[in-house]
């Protein structure tokens, strides 16, 4: 369901036209419903994933996605070949650029006991960029699994964020606000009951999409 579909259904429920309820007014109701879901249901962030090419011998970071909040994991993506299927190799996380400076030179710091040089790839996040260290002689692809904070839907064809995950909950939440705006208190209360049921069902179904969600355990 896209934003324009939600606005159309809201007007159909209350039997009003765009002259009586403008797109801007309905957008406010929809955005408020989304904010209520975020605030009351611990549903601020959502899962996302992206594959990022890293050039050979690259000594610079790559920009993080615009909706990035925090990473869940970073992998080196190994494409399928004639002898093995595609696979993901987890990369170790370093706290910062300083950690990499210490880690990469540790074999030169201990004169009493030999310390092996770092093996494998690691990553750190610095100044809004993802850095893969050490640099490699061949181009590689990394997969970034992260939590995102998508913007509210604004264009008619948008289906971002919670609107793309649980459109019915957003619709009924916005409908409750629409009835309150029209001073239809009893209808707003009735719609609110349906809205709460939809929220409960959506939270149980989409447990894995919510960062740190513990209130609604997944059940079979």
The pLDDT tens digits of the residues spanning 143-186 come to 999 988 888 899 999 988 888 888 888 998 899 999 989 888 88
Same-domain pairing of 38 and 92: no
144 and 71 both lie in a single domain = yes
**84 and 170 assigned to the same domain:** no
Same-domain status, 143 and 61: yes
| Domain finish residue from 133, 148, 163 | 148
Judge whether 215 lies within some domain. Answer: no
Q: What is the Cα–Cα distance from 144 to 6, expressed in whole angstroms?
A: 32
34 and 98 housed in the same domain? no
Local confidence band at 210 (pLDDT 50, 70, 90 cut-offs) = low
Check residue 217 and give its pLDDT.
Answer: 47
Choose the final residue of a domain: 148, 166, 199: 148
Kindly state whether residues 166 and 97 are assigned to the same domain: no
Same domain (yes/no): 177, 109: no
Same domain, 61 and 119: yes
Instruction: Give yes or no for residue 216 having a pLDDT over 50.
Output: no
CA gap 6, 1 in Å, rounded: 7
Residue 128 covered by a domain = yes
Q: Are residues 92 and 37 in the same domain?
A: no
Do the beta carbons of residue 74 and residue 144 sit within 8 Å?
yes
Domain containing 136: what range? 46-148
Same domain, 92 and 159: no
SS3 of the chain: helix, strand, coil, percent, to 5: 40, 20, 40
Q: Where would I find the beta strands (DSSP E) of 149-195?
A: none
Residue 220 lies in a domain: no
Structural contact between residues 77 and 143, judged by C-beta atoms closer than 8 angstroms: yes
Total domains, the chain: 2
Residues 95 and 116 grouped into a single domain: yes
State percent of the chain over pLDDT 90: 35
54 and 136 Cβ atoms separated by less than 8 Å: yes
């Amino acid at each position: 369901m896209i934003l324009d579909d939600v606005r159309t259904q809201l007007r159909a429920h209350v039997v009003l036209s765009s002259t009586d309820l403008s797109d801007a007014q309905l957008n406010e109701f929809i955005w408020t419903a989304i904010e209520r879901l975020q605030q009351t249901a611990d549903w601020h962030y959502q899962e996302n994933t992206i594959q990022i090419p890293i050039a050979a011998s690259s000594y610079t970071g790559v920009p993080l996605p615009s909706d990035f909040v925090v990473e869940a994991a970073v992998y080196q993506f190994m494409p399928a070949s004639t002898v093995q299927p595609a696979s993901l190799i987890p990369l170790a996380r370093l706290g910062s650029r300083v950690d990499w400076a210490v880690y990469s030179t540790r074999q030169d710091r201990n004169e009493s006991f030999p310390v092996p040089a770092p093996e494998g790839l690691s990553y750190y996040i610095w100044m809004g960029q993802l850095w893969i260290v050490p640099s490699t002689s061949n181009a590689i692809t990394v997969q970034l699994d992260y939590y995102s904070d998508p913007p509210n839907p604004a264009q008619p064809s948008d289906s971002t964020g919670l609107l793309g995950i649980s459109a019915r909950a957003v619709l009924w939440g916005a409908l409750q606000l629409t009835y309150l705006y029209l001073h239809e208190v009893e209808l707003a209360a009735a719609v609110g009951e349906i809205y709460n049921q939809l929220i409960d069902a959506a939270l149980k179904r989409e447990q894995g999409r919510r960062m740190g969600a513990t209130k609604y355990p997944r059940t079979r």
